[in-house]
């Protein structure tokens, strides 16, 4: 499957300066496709299974969740470059998944299996996910 699962979602999480997102607000739209489940099976944040488990995403290589089979070919190609889910990469990806993959792979036609636009809150989301994985 070349493109994987494609979900078009616009996440308009609006927060002001110094205003923290609640855990629920951070997770609300992500949980449609993703869960956060520890290696021992403990569910830390309930969610769907059509996207990869986000446990341990911080600094994990792109397209490296071993239990997930539906990464797009282009996300796999980005992972093959050695790119990792740093905070900056996570924010850039959520801001514009296709553009992020085009930049990482050099392929002007690269497309993500997930199409999300996160206008605000990606850094906070990354920090929250990182905290769940510790």
Confidence (pTM): 0.80
Integer Cα distance of 55 and 45 in angstroms: 9
Residue 122 pLDDT greater than 60, yes or no: yes
- Percent of the chain whose pLDDT exceeds 90: 62
Tens digit of each residue's pLDDT (9 = 90 or more) over 26-55: 688 888 999 999 999 999 999 999 999 999
Write out the E strands in 12-134: 36-37, 43-45, 115-118
Domains of the chain with bracketed CATH: 8-13+21-132 (1.10.760.10)
């Amino acid at each position: 499957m070349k493109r994987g699962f494609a979900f078009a979602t616009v996440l308009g999480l609006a927060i002001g300066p110094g205003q923290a997102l609640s855990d629920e607000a951070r997770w609300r739209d992500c949980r449609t496709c993703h869960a956060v489940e520890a290696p021992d099976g403990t569910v830390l944040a309930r969610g769907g299974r059509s996207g990869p488990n986000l446990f341990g995403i911080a600094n994990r290589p792109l397209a490296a969740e071993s239990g997930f089979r539906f990464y797009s070919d282009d996300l796999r190609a980005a992972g093959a470059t050695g790119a990792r889910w740093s905070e900056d990469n996570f924010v850039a990806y959520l801001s514009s998944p296709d553009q992020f993959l085009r930049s990482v792979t050099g392929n002007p036609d690269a497309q993500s299996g997930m199409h999300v636009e996160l206008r605000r809150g990606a850094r906070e989301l990354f920090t929250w996910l990182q905290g769940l994985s510790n």
